[in-house]
Amino acid sequence: MLKTRFTELVGIEYPIMCGGMFQVGRAELCAAVSEAGGLGTITSATQGDPENLRQEIRKVKELTDKPFAVNLSLFPSSRPLPNEEYIDVLIEEGVKIVETSGRSPKDLMQKLKSGGIIVIHKVANAKNAISAENAGVDAVSVVGFETGGHPGMNDIGSIVLTKLVTDAVSVPVLGGGGFSTGQSLVAAMALGAEGVVMGTRFMAVKESILHQNVKNWMINASEAETAIVQKSIGSGSRVALNEVAKEVLKLEERGTTFEELLPLITGKRAPKVYFDGEINAGIWSCGQVVGLINDVPTTKELIDRIVQEAVDSRNFINHAFETKHEASVSER
């Protein structure tokens, strides 16, 4: 067991969280992460309406009796999300952990807390982390420039951001963006984090709903085969560098409007990628960590591997310090 304040807070074995992912965050993957000792997450926006979310929650409970989270997206949306109704479902179904992402969850905190829910808020900088802590969240995750999906607009990497946020708040912090191995877990903890949140790496596991074509693309992709699109409209998103993403980048470089981009960036195109395996059917979230993915293990195999790598890395570091100390003593 790797015990931190975060594992104690949410009642899990290892400080590894699967972040909320649109279309990908479903019951099977969520339950597999939780069963393997991490914290799985289902994504409410994927479900479309409160009753579908209720059924997905019940499906998770059929697959595991371990803790899991539900993501509530607070990002601007062309179709307003019924988050108040989602919260009613969470409380009725006894869900105890929520991940919020997007704007501040301040307006929802009273309702969440009255339902006894632990709130983890995803941020992109230290200022937002402080605001989230002041709003009453129980933990924050900070995602750097490397992350798939929305990394914030300031192009700052995860190592710098993780240290800035752990210095700025007193609640447990998870590092996000570029974390996928035991070595990176140890690095995050060395910076003061008490765990990591991973998305892209969990897309390429056997329990992920993604089409095998997508997983194969990820295995073969390099760290350079992602790009941030939509910066011109103030909603930067890191995605796989496919033909649609290249077209979006061309339009943005030339100068474009939201209306011109919308047919290319609409989430309605994602199912053709994720479920039909048409890699170039639309834009889809993918982090730079894709360059480190070279297999499609089961979720348990992946988490067991990360934990073993973390233990080996810790032992290596301890040995290095002991050797340095012994050498220093012998020189005196």
Ordered by where they begin, the domains of the chain are 5-206 (3.20.20.70), 212-289 (no CATH)
d(C-alpha 3, C-alpha 125), whole Å: 26
* More confident: 37 or 78: 37
Q: What are phi and psi of 309, to 5 degrees?
A: -60, -40
Torsion angle, alpha carbons of 81, 78, 154, 148, to 10:
70
Intra-chain end-to-end CA distance of the chain, in Å: 39
Cα 205-14-157 angle, rounded to 5 deg? 70
Amino acid at position 268, single letter: K
Of 206, 195, 173, 202, which Cα lies nearest the Cα of 16?
Answer: 195
Of 242, 239, 321, 220, which Cα lies nearest the Cα of 288?
Answer: 239
- Contact, 261 vs 236, CB < 8 A? no
d(C-alpha 121, C-alpha 125), whole Å: 12
pLDDT of amino acid 1? 64
* Number of C-beta neighbours around residue 295 at 10 A: 11
Taking each helix axis from N to C end, the angle separating 299-331 and 27-35, rounded to the nearest 10 degrees, works out to 40
* Number of C-beta neighbours around residue 159 at 10 A: 18
Estimate to the nearest angstrom the gap between the alpha carbon of 308 and the chain centroid.
21
d(C-alpha 305, C-alpha 294), whole Å: 13
pLDDT of amino acid 308? 96
Tokens found for residue 289: 């960590």
Which H helix or E strand runs over 34?
A: helix 27-35
pLDDT category of residue 190 using cuts at 50, 70 and 90: very high
Q: pLDDT digit string (tens) for 123-162?
A: 999 999 999 999 999 999 999 999 999 887 788 999 999 9
pLDDT category of residue 319 using cuts at 50, 70 and 90: confident
Task: Provide the 8-state DSSP code for 143.
Answer: E
- Contact, 34 vs 17, CB < 8 A? no
- CA 131 vs CA 128, 135, 136: distances in Å: 5, 6, 9
Q: pLDDT digit string (tens) for 221-250?
A: 999 999 999 999 888 999 999 999 999 999
Classify residue 135 by burial, with Cβ atoms within 10 Å: 0-12, 13-18, 19+.
middle
pLDDT of amino acid 76? 74
Beta-bridge mates of residue 39: 17
- Contact, 175 vs 162, CB < 8 A? yes
| DSSP three-state, residue 100 | strand
pLDDT of amino acid 267? 83
Please state whether 25 falls in left (phi above 0), alpha (psi between -120 and 50) or beta. Answer: beta
Tell me if the pTM is above 0.75: yes
Percentage of residues of the chain with pLDDT beyond 90: 85
Tokens found for residue 127: 């200022």
Of 41, 74, 77, 39, which Cα lies nearest the Cα of 56?
Answer: 41
Of 173, 176, 190, which Cα lies nearest the Cα of 320?
Answer: 190
Of 212, 211, 239, 210, which Cα lies nearest the Cα of 225?
Answer: 239
pLDDT of amino acid 326? 56
